[in-house]
Amino acid sequence: MNKTRSFILVLAALVLFLSGCAGFQTSSNNEEANKEENPEGKTVIDFWTFWGSEIRRPIIEKIIADFNESQDEIEVKHTYLPFGDVWTKELAAIAAGDPPDVVINDINATALRGQKEQAMNLSQFLEQDDISNRFYPELWDATLYEGESYGIPFNTDTRVLFYNKDAFEEAGLDPENPPTTWAELEEYAAKLDKKSDNGYDRIGFYPLWGVGYDVWLLNANGQNYFDEQNNFQIDTAKNEDVLNWLKSFKDHYGEDVINSYQAQIDSQQGHPFFSGDLAMIVQQPTFYTQIRDYAQDLNFGVVELPEYEEGNGHTSWGGGFVAEIPAGAKNPEASWEFIKYLTDVEAQTYWAVQNFDNVANIEAAETAAESTEFTEDGTMVYQKAVENMEHTLLTPVPVIAPDFSSLINPNMDEFFLGSMTAKEALEKSQKDVESLIEKNQ
């Protein structure tokens, strides 16, 4: 019938028209964005971070505002995206050919992103403007893929041992002489234990709070699982010894005690270290800000991680973030100018002091350590954090097997749960990762 047919035609036309509208709208938006110039003729660049908290957001936005005022060529716009989204969104934007101009990303996977051509190769800028010696070499090396950098280190972290000085005194230990070896750590922990009728009033130390087994393996070995030729080595007698040592703490305190303390730590409503129920813990230096806010009267000290045995080295573990230019960004020169500012002394010092965060720029870190804005305790922790950088190793993901840890962790879980021996867990990990490497080659 005529009526029906014309109705369908109208409907179809309407649908086409509407979808057409939508199409035109997005493309015109894109054109606007691609112009990348604001009315004053400045180049506008988009900077993506996941720093949206009440504390961090004002700090990064102040740095951006300072940069915008410092010159009249470039205007940086800040876009905050939640931590869970920012990198998948970045990837989608790169694939769509319209990426942001600068993104903060994980330092440990920088080489992988370089290999996959997600991040821009920065050597074209570094040839004219070598800023590599601003940063801790360990951080710089983590940004390299085949010797070329794909991201500029921004901030970092490390792991140190916090200990309760009052508890030391009470247990008859010298609060100015914290443990320096694993043997001492174990001995002191036992002395710091305070038993009560139904459990513990105080636990001396438990190595797997704050860090994982991997940090202790790193500490004992002084190197990563992967060497420079991509040879993977985990199944060693030393590692077996380390794992059994870690587990001895669990056996010592018992599963129930560990679980109830763990629950207290997880609930974030009263950390046992703040209440004096736990005498020592390995943490990032930023742990201090929680002590400052929630346990002002705590009399504590901070020291580098004890060493496996004397002379073995106080190796610690760190991570961090880089500022990178996504592949296909429209104004790499402007992005580069901003990254240089972001990783220069002034911005880095400001970030370090305001956030109490380890920064990648050596001079900034050292300046911050002298800052008068910190309290006495703050200065003590920050100085230790900066000093600790010389012991700190990163664990960049190997491009040959980026997900290798998902083959190790389950075995380690089985070991700590008691369904595998250390030897079995290590042998299986060794075998599994080797076959993954073979598969990927």
User: What's the min distance (Å) between Cβ of 323 and another protein?
Assistant: 19
- Does 282 interact with another protein (rule: CB under 8 A)? no
User: What's the min distance (Å) between Cβ of 161 and another protein?
Assistant: 22
- Does 29 interact with another protein (rule: CB under 8 A)? no
| Of 20 and 58, CB closest to another protein | 20
360: closest CA among 318, 312, 412? Answer: 318
Q: What whole-number distance in Å separates Cα of residue 100 and Cα of residue 335?
A: 10
Q: What whole-number distance in Å separates Cα of residue 297 and Cα of residue 294?
A: 9
Report DSSP state, residue 54.
T
User: What's the min distance (Å) between Cβ of 346 and another protein?
Assistant: 34
| Of 41 and 82, CB closest to another protein | 82
Alpha-helix runs per DSSP H in 36-181 = 56-70, 86-95, 110-115, 123-128, 137-142, 165-170
User: What's the min distance (Å) between Cβ of 255 and another protein?
Assistant: 8
Q: What whole-number distance in Å separates Cα of residue 327 and Cα of residue 306?
A: 42
Strands 300-303, 160-164: pairing is: antiparallel
- Does 105 interact with another protein (rule: CB under 8 A)? no
- Does 429 interact with another protein (rule: CB under 8 A)? no
Q: What whole-number distance in Å separates Cα of residue 211 and Cα of residue 157?
A: 13
Selected binder of another protein within 116, 194, 250, 292 (CB under 8 A): 116
Selected binder of another protein within 49, 105, 118, 331 (CB under 8 A): 118
User: What's the min distance (Å) between Cβ of 286 and another protein?
Assistant: 18
**Those residues with Cβ within 8 angstroms of residue 422's Cβ, 6 or more apart along the chain or in another chain:** 239, 240, 243, 244, 247, 415
- Does 40 interact with another protein (rule: CB under 8 A)? no
Selected binder of another protein within 6, 9, 13, 19 (CB under 8 A): 19
Q: What whole-number distance in Å separates Cα of residue 342 and Cα of residue 64?
A: 8
| Of 159 and 384, CB closest to another protein | 159
| Of 27 and 296, CB closest to another protein | 27
Residue window 128-147: x/- pattern of binding to another protein, with contact defined by CB under 8 A = --------------------
- Does 50 interact with another protein (rule: CB under 8 A)? no
Selected binder of another protein within 15, 33, 55, 190 (CB under 8 A): 15
| Of 126 and 258, CB closest to another protein | 258
- Does 180 interact with another protein (rule: CB under 8 A)? no
| Of 65 and 96, CB closest to another protein | 96
- How far CA 11 is from CA of 22, 25, 112, 319, in Å, comes to 17, 21, 50, 57
Q: Which stretch binds another protein (CB under 8 A): 32-40, 85-93, 150-158, 344-352?
A: 85-93
Size of the residue set binding another protein (CB under 8 A):
40
- Does 21 interact with another protein (rule: CB under 8 A)? no
CB atoms within 10 A of CB 251: 10
378: closest CA among 291, 279, 295, 304? Answer: 291
Structure token digits, residue 106:
């994980």
Q: Which stretch binds another protein (CB under 8 A): 87-95, 157-165, 180-188, 221-229?
A: 87-95
Task: Kindly identify the residues of this chain, within the stretch 222-261, that bind another protein according to CB under 8 A.
Answer: 256, 259-260
| Of 386 and 401, CB closest to another protein | 401
Q: Buried b / exposed e across 18-45, counting CB within 10 Å, b at 16+?
A: eeeeeeeeeeeeeeeeeebeeeeebbbb
Q: What whole-number distance in Å separates Cα of residue 382 and Cα of residue 439?
A: 44
Q: What whole-number distance in Å separates Cα of residue 386 and Cα of residue 304?
A: 11
Phi first, then psi: give them for residue 59, nearest 5 degrees.
Answer: -70, -50
- Does 417 interact with another protein (rule: CB under 8 A)? yes
- Does 439 interact with another protein (rule: CB under 8 A)? yes
| Of 100 and 378, CB closest to another protein | 100
Selected binder of another protein within 9, 10, 11, 33 (CB under 8 A): 11
| Of 145 and 374, CB closest to another protein | 145
**Those residues with Cβ within 8 angstroms of residue 123's Cβ, 6 or more apart along the chain or in another chain:** 148, 149
Q: What whole-number distance in Å separates Cα of residue 258 and Cα of residue 164?
A: 19
Contact residues for another protein, defined by CB under 8 A: 1-2, 4, 8, 11, 15, 19, 87-88, 91, 94-95, 109, 112, 115-118, 256, 259-260, 262-264, 266-267, 327, 402-403, 406-407, 409-411, 413-414, 417, 432, 435, 439
